[in-house]
Structure 1
Amino acid sequence: MSAAPEPLDEFEQIARLYRPLTGGAPEALDLLDDAAVIPSRPGFDLVITKDAVVEGVHFLAGDPLDLVARKLLRVNLSDLAAMGAERYGYFLAVAWPPPCGWPERQAFADGLKADGEAFGAVLLGGDTVSTPGPLTASLTLLGWVPAGCAVQRGGARPGDILMVSGPIGDGWLGLRAARGAVDDPDGYLAGRYRLPSPRLDLITALRDQASAAADVSDGLIADAGHIATASGVGLVLHLDRMPLSEAALAWLAEQPDRLEALRRLASGGDDYEIVCTAPPEAAAALGLTVIGEVVAGQGVEVRLEGARIDPGPGGWKHR
């Protein structure tokens, strides 16, 4: 990161870096006010989610800041997708440490511009401040869902099917690949960690078919557990049914303890796939990988080849 050649005025930053990200949305008021004005939308509920990233915790020092910004937007989009909500606009707060000059700030804004245009999300407001460090950014994303149709974690019922939308464990392996601890010759794993793909393609299907859903950010076991807790039910999760990418399968084949390796993949997080439940008659329409079932009880029972196993920590927890 390079130092700025000259002091950067907050309002100059807003005008040059962030006003273009509004796309001219009237709600943003050209970022000239300290708040946005959001009109109501008859027949819809406003869904609001918020995520933050901190250098050294959520991304590595030296990671390209355009990718950091894109990931920040994408993990919020993943939360909306899990609820069946369409993206609308976002609020941004960034705390810049002294080493971050104009080039770094421009790269961050460029990343937001690229994905804001790709995903149809505009900047509505926010704040930019200085900090002694580390670099910290927070994004609040707004979305719309038809009134009463948000897919919540509390809707699972005994007899439902437990499913997941795609490969699990790539995010956890990707972090290790980015650190040089896992072989990643084509950069696939590091790419999955640095730039996840929110499952926006599932928004309508989840609204129509799912009884409960969450995105896999903390770890498959942990996020399935959030559904179990919110719904007041038990879940049976079969590790041997968990979908894995070719890269994860190659890594798994080299591990001396298959059980421990599978448990790590299922607990690592940062996958941003969707774990959900649906009645049996609706599960087929979703077309996702079946990994278990909803039962009476509480918590997540993890099995491997039919045998019940200790799930371990289950996922990431901030202290």
Structure 2
Amino acid sequence: MPPHPPAAASPGEGPLPGEFGLIARHFRPLAAPEALGLLDDAALLDPPPGRTLVLAADAMVEGVHFLSTDPPDTVSRRLLRTNLSDLAAMGAEPLGYLLTTAFPRGTAESVVAGFAAGLAEDQRLFGLRILGGDTVSTPGPACHSLTILGTVPPGAALRRDGARAGDDVWVSGCIGDGALGLAVGQGRLPPDPGGHLLRRYRLPDPRLALGIALRDVARAAMDVSDGLVQDLGPVS
């Protein structure tokens, strides 16, 4: 993790520490032993014996994938859960992840603290830890990228090309809730009773247990992100 210039703090708050101070304060407590305390240039990871590695990556840009009004902890949890959903679609179990954060200059340290707290919560829920990454500042909107690592037994991954003509198509969950929740957050729809749609947008539910259970049942699987009809194209 080479150093980068620290971002300035918002008025009324102390300045953000430098990169190494920021990592030590907010991200080192999240690190796996293989991350070497986030003090080295890379992590050292021995894959579990007899398992195949599964890797996926997603990025989120403020104003495109999340809103400036979203709580920082939900931004990080949404980023992690989006990647976990990719593992679930492959029938994989999570192992760890790499994180790159680009916070705008002027970001308050409380925002970074909230972002890290969200990661800590979902690390406990889903049983994985951070392995490394990078932190930078940016003059533009916030942008965060996460690369996730998982494992499956050899030959057990659920691939899209396993589908065959005549196969049934099954869906878990309710398609469209996340898009409706985003519209609520943008003010394009009125708030829904109980805030269900907003929660579905901010905290998608990665169905890891279902993906694992389907390894010996389904021939193909995928994470629905752009709508059922559009996403079925790659498996048809």
* TM value normalised by structure 1: 0.69
Cα distance in 2, alignment partners of residues 109 and 201 from structure 1: 25
The equivalent of 2:182 in structure 1 is: 175
1:211 counterpart = 2:219: yes
> After superposition, what is the alpha-carbon deviation per residue over 1:134-188, rounded to whole angstroms, capped at 9, x for unaligned?
1010011100100111100000011211111121111111111112222313211
Kindly indicate whether the alpha-carbon contact (under 8 Å) linking 2:158 and 2:221 is maintained by their aligned counterparts in 1: yes
The equivalent of 2:105 in structure 1 is: 98
Question: Considering only aligned residues, what root-mean-square deviation do their CA atoms show, in Å?
Answer: 1.3
Q: Please state whether the residue corresponding to 1:50 is helix, strand or coil.
A: strand
Q: Which runs of 4+ in 1 moved over 6 A?
A: none
Kindly indicate whether the alpha-carbon contact (under 8 Å) linking 2:16 and 2:109 is maintained by their aligned counterparts in 1: no
Match of 1:41 among 31, 39, 48: 48
1:191 counterpart = 2:170: no
Cα distance in 2, alignment partners of residues 11 and 72 from structure 1: 23
The equivalent of 1:85 in structure 2 is: 92
Q: Which has the higher strand share?
A: 1
Cα distance in 1, alignment partners of residues 193 and 169 from structure 2: 34
Kindly indicate whether the alpha-carbon contact (under 8 Å) linking 1:44 and 1:145 is maintained by their aligned counterparts in 2: yes
Cα distance in 2, alignment partners of residues 213 and 7 from structure 1: 43
Q: Please state whether the residue corresponding to 1:151 is helix, strand or coil.
A: coil
The equivalent of 2:138 in structure 1 is: 131
Bigger mean CA deviation after superposition, 189-198 or 2-11: 2-11
Decide which structure has the larger Cα Rg and report it. Answer: 1
1:54 counterpart = 2:54: no
Kindly indicate whether the alpha-carbon contact (under 8 Å) linking 1:2 and 1:104 is maintained by their aligned counterparts in 2: no
1:222 counterpart = 2:234: no
The alpha carbon displacement at 1:204 in A equals 2.1
Cα distance in 2, alignment partners of residues 99 and 28 from structure 1: 29
The equivalent of 1:20 in structure 2 is: 29
Bigger mean CA deviation after superposition, 105-114 or 2-11: 2-11
Q: Which amino acid in the other structure matches residue 121 of structure 1?
A: L
Kindly indicate whether the alpha-carbon contact (under 8 Å) linking 1:69 and 1:112 is maintained by their aligned counterparts in 2: yes
Q: Which amino acid in the other structure matches residue 12 of structure 1?
A: G
The alpha carbon displacement at 1:7 in A equals 4.2
Match of 2:170 among 163, 169, 174: 163
Q: Which amino acid in the other structure matches residue 93 of structure 1?
A: T
Cα distance in 2, alignment partners of residues 10 and 161 from structure 1: 50
Unaligned runs of 5+ in 1: 229-319
The equivalent of 1:76 in structure 2 is: 83
Q: Which amino acid in the other structure matches residue 171 of structure 1?
A: G
Distance 1:17 1:7, change over 3 A: closer
Q: Please state whether the residue corresponding to 2:193 is helix, strand or coil.
A: coil
Q: Please state whether the residue corresponding to 2:64 is helix, strand or coil.
A: coil
Kindly indicate whether the alpha-carbon contact (under 8 Å) linking 1:174 and 1:189 is maintained by their aligned counterparts in 2: yes
User: 1:252-271 residue pairs with structure 2 within 5 A?
Assistant: none
Distance 1:2 1:188, change over 3 A: farther
Cα distance in 2, alignment partners of residues 64 and 215 from structure 1: 25
* TM value normalised by structure 2: 0.92
> After superposition, what is the alpha-carbon deviation per residue over 1:65-122, rounded to whole angstroms, capped at 9, x for unaligned?
1000000000000000000000010000001111312101000000000111111110
Kindly indicate whether the alpha-carbon contact (under 8 Å) linking 2:103 and 2:142 is maintained by their aligned counterparts in 1: yes
Unaligned runs of 5+ in 2: 1-8
Distance 1:15 1:169, change over 3 A: same
The equivalent of 2:4 in structure 1 is: none
